[in-house]
């Protein structure tokens, strides 16, 4: 035991020295070629070749960059409030942040996956996960907006998601932290981990036309930690592969106690078989409490629904459903090559990369070439499933993607490099340093049947000397490589939002052609829509006041409102009457504790305001919209509670009370 502890701490010491010594590689100053600037330059008025969707980590959002320029195009609000776009502030979007624990205004967004058809990117949707309070979101790439968020019950730490099947039949999510099931007694000793803690894999179905998500079923597994995953494709298309660690079932000091074994596991799941069992009614319905939020682009409103049950298959009762494949050591990444034959495991503490063969896995299952069982799950013999090992590739392999030419690219966190190797002969072809400590990488279509293979982006955890200093915290670094030739070439560094984990990249032509420019006013089904200035009005319902307002360059209607009282709940329902691309209007009112609105052309959005004191309160457009933007403003008069000032509103003329006041 003492020898083991020494080896673990020695490894940790090496890691710390390599990551925090601050030593710059000798090639850091001349890593880029003389032609790099020309390869990333996008001339004014020209478009980038690629969209790069990057997880925002602790920001809870998704960022979108143009490639090769590295220009930030948009931040998509998902799991955190966003004052720039009013996400989580407008009355219409507040329900999107509901969970069974209440409203959560700040999430932890880790991974992304683009929808696929026949194993190829189709450009329809982007799926995103929330790690802390387990949720999965669907982003509509016509509008670059979050359309749906579903919470996952019986789960804790939704790191292992959202990974999709090759026709987007399912989004699959594994639990990072095993815990007692929601309907079990959770008040148990932590030391009872092996007995009471369980892991789950959740299969969320996706409707083929509109993308609506539904929790279809969950698989119940022994307590351990489930990490990253990818679905099979082609011959392995009905299977899913997860990396698993903490097979020791430790619950304290995991850096030591969950790293004792030489091998943990890759979990192979026959999801087609699981689907059959559910259709046959063999799943067990159990009570669950989770929330499903949907945003409608016709009503411009979100709805939040409480769900009450889920279907569970306990894998120990279905011996042909899942299998364990030994994988060295503390595996993190689990990646499937474009042919669907090779499954790459990346052990964080391993000095090699194991590559497993799907056909050999099937043969081992057929012949029952097992090496015992784990929690009732058959364990295949390592050699029976193994295609081969990439020898001495580097230190700390994490993630692998593919270029479609028979090559794989793996990030190495400890040795700070990307290594290119051939899938068939497992030979190292190239290695390039990164600055520093890369986690994920992305190649356009690199996890699909059809990688595009021109660019690779590494997402580095440490920047140190790459950008101007900004106090104790530095921006995370993305590094763009050209992989079109035999050797990788570093082209560009650029900073990113939050801490990027996984990312997706796709040709712009797949997505931009479907981009929605406006919301058609005649299709606006919001219950508070105002179809033209003549329909603008102010209505009192007890202590609630509804302002049906329009915005048009360069005025609001109405722009003068009187008769509001202290303590009233005032709802400004603002309809943007513009039908021109990229003409949003903002709306803000003095003293409101909520953010202002940002209302797209043809959209209706609502701001709630509860005035605390009497007085005159200006409101104005917060998004520069025209030469007379400064004139796009108005006033609200707030009187004391119980005042007899009548409720009036106007546009383009002084009120009678104002005229009388001027005469005096």
Position 656 scores a pLDDT of 58
Q: What is the DSSP string of 1-68?
A: -HHHHHHHHHHHHHHHHHHHS-PPPTTGGG-B-TTHHHHH---TT---SEEEEEE-BTT--EEEEEET
Of the candidates 26, 72, 32, the one whose C-alpha atom is nearest the C-alpha of residue 479 is 32
**E strands, 101-224, in order:** 102-103, 109-117, 120-130, 135-140, 145-151, 160-164, 170-174, 198-206, 213-222
pLDDT(23) > 60: no
pLDDT tens digit sequence for 254-266: 888 888 888 999 9
Q: What is the pLDDT of residues 48-80, one digit of tens each?
A: 999 999 999 999 999 999 999 999 999 999 999
pLDDT for 32: 64
Q: What is each CA distance from 413 to 62, 245, 349, 393, 509, in whole angstroms?
A: 23, 18, 10, 12, 33
Domain ranges of the chain: 51-512, 523-663
DSSP state letter for 235:
G
Kind and range of the H or E element at 276? helix 271-279
Residue 157 token pair: 């730490």
As given in the structure block, the two tokens for residue 16 are 């710390």
Per the CB < 8 A criterion, the answer to whether 78 and 109 are in contact is yes
> What is the mean pLDDT of the segment spanning 501-526?
96
Q: Is a pLDDT exceeding 60 seen at residue 47?
A: yes
Residue 495's beta-bridge partner residues?
A: 477
Max alpha carbon distance in the chain (Å)? Answer: 101
Q: Give per-residue pLDDT as tens, 413-454.
A: 999 999 999 999 999 999 999 999 999 999 999 999 999 999
What is the CATH number that goes with domain 51-512?
2.130.10.10
Residue % of the chain over a pLDDT of 70: 93
Preceding amide of 436 cis, omega within 30: yes
Decide if pLDDT at 649 tops 70. yes
Rounded CA-CA distance 427/212 in Å is: 44
pLDDT at 9: 37
Residue 142 is predicted with a pLDDT of 98
pLDDT at res. 657: 54
The secondary structure of residue 462, as a DSSP letter, is -
Q: At the topology level of CATH, where does 523-663 sit?
A: Immunoglobulin-like (2.60.40)
Enumerate the β-bridge partners of residue 417: 412, 433
Contact 323, 372 (CB under 8 A): no
The model's confidence at residue 2, banded by pLDDT at 50, 70 and 90, is very low
**Roughly how many angstroms between the first and final C-alpha of the chain, as a whole number?**
94
Q: Is the pLDDT of residue 5 over 70?
A: no
The stretch 624-633 carries a mean pLDDT of 94
Instruction: Compute the distance between CA of residue 236 and CA of residue 234 in angstroms, rounded to an integer.
Output: 5
pLDDT digits (tens, 9 = 90+) for 223-265: 999 999 999 999 999 999 999 999 899 999 988 888 888 899 9
Task: Tell me whether strands 569-576 and 544-552 are parallel, antiparallel or unpaired.
Answer: parallel
Residues 538, 649 contacting (CB under 8 angstroms): yes
The predicted pLDDT at position 242 comes to: 95
Looking at every residue in the chain, the average pLDDT score rounds to 92
Q: What is the CA radius of gyration of the chain?
A: 28
Tokens 């209706």 correspond to what residue? 604
Please tell me the distance from the alpha carbon of residue 36 to that of residue 396, in angstroms, as a whole number.
29
> What is residue 280's predicted lDDT score, i.e. its pLDDT?
97
For the residues 346-358, what does the mean pLDDT come to?
A: 94
Q: Is the model's pLDDT at 521 over the cut of 90? A: yes
| Residues 633-642: tens digit of each pLDDT | 999 999 999 9
Q: What digits encode the pLDDT tens for the residues 80-135?
A: 999 999 999 999 999 999 999 999 999 999 999 999 999 999 999 999 999 999 99
* pLDDT of 270: 98
């Amino acid at each position: 035991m003492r020898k083991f502890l020494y080896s673990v701490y020695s490894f940790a010491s090496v890691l710390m020295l390599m990551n925090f010594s601050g030593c710059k590689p000798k090639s850091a100053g001349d890593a880029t070629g003389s032609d790099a600037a020309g390869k990333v330059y996008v001339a004014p008025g020209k478009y980038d070749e690629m969209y790069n969707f990057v997880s925002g980590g602790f920001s809870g959002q998704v960022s979108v960059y143009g490639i090769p320029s590295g220009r930030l195009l948009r931040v998509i609000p998902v799991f955190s409030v966003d004052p720039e776009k009013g996400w989580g502030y407008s009355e219409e979007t507040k329900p999107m942040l509901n969970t069974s624990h209440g409203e959560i205004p700040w999430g932890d967004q880790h991974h992304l996956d683009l929808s696929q058809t026949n194993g190829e990117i189709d450009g329809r949707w982007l799926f995103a996960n929330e790690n802390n309070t387990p949720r999965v979101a669907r982003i509509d790439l016509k509008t670059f907006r979050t359309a749906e968020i579903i919470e996952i019950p019986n789960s804790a730490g939704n790191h292992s998601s959202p990974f999709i099947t090759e026709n987007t039949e399912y989004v699959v999510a594994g639990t990072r932290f095993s815990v007692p099931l929601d309907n079990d007694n959770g008040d148990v000793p932590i030391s009872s981990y092996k007995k009471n803690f369980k892991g789950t894999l959740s299969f969320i179905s996706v409707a083929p036309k509109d993308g609506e998500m539904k929790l279809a079923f969950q698989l119940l597994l022994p307590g351990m930690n489930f990490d990253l995953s990818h679905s099979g494709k082609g011959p392995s298309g009905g299977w899913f592969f997860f990396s698993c660690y903490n097979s020791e079932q430790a619950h304290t000091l995991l850096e030591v106690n969950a790293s004792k074994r030489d091998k943990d596991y890759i979990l192979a799941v026959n999801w087609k078989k699981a689907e059959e069992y559910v259709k046959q009614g063999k799943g067990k319905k159990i009570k669950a409490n989770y929330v499903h939020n949907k945003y409608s682009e016709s009503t411009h409103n979100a709805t939040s629904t409480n769900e009450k049950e889920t279907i569970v298959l306990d894998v120990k009762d279905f011996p042909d459903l899942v299998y364990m494949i030994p994988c060295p050591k503390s595996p993190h990444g689990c990646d499937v090559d474009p042919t669907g034959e090779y499954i790459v495991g990346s052990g964080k503490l391993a000095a090699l990369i194991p590559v497993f063969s799907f056909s050999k896995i099937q043969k081992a299952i057929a012949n029952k070439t097992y090496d015992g069982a784990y929690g009732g799950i058959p364990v295949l013999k390592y050699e029976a499933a193994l295609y081969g090992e990439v020898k001495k590739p580097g230190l700390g392999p994490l993630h692998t993607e593919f270029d479609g030419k028979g090559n794989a690219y793996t990030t190495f966190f400890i040795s700070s490099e990307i290594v290119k190797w051939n899938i068939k002969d497992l030979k190292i072809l190239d290695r390039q340093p990164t600055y520093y400590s890369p986690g994920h990488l992305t190649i356009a279509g690199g996890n699909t049947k059809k990688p595009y293979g021109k660019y690779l982006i590494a997402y580095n955890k440490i920047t140190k000397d790459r950008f101007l200093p900004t106090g104790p915290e530095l921006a995370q670094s993305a590094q763009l490589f050209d992989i079109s030739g035999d050797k990788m070439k570093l082209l560009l560094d650029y900073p990113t939002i939050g801490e990027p984990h996984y990312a997706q990249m796709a040709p712009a032509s797949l997505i931009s052609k479907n981009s929605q420019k406006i919301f058609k006013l005649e299709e606006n089904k919001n219950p508070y829509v105002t179809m033209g200035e003549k329909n603008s009005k102010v209505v009192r319902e007890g202590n609630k006041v509804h302002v049906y307002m329009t915005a048009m360059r360069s005025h609001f209607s109405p722009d003068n409102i009187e008769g509001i009282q202290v303590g009233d709940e005032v709802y400004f329902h603002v309809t943007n009457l513009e039908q021109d691309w990229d003409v949003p209007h903002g709306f803000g009112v003095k003293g409101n504790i909520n953010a202002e609105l940002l209302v797209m052309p043809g959209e209706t959005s609502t701001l709630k305001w509860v005035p605390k004191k009497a007085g005159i309160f200006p409101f104005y457009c917060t998004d520069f919209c025209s030469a007379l933007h400064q004139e796009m403003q108005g006033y609200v008069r707030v009187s004391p509670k119980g005042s007899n000032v009548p409720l009036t509103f106007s546009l383009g003329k002084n009120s009678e009370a104002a005229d009388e006041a001027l005469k005096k």
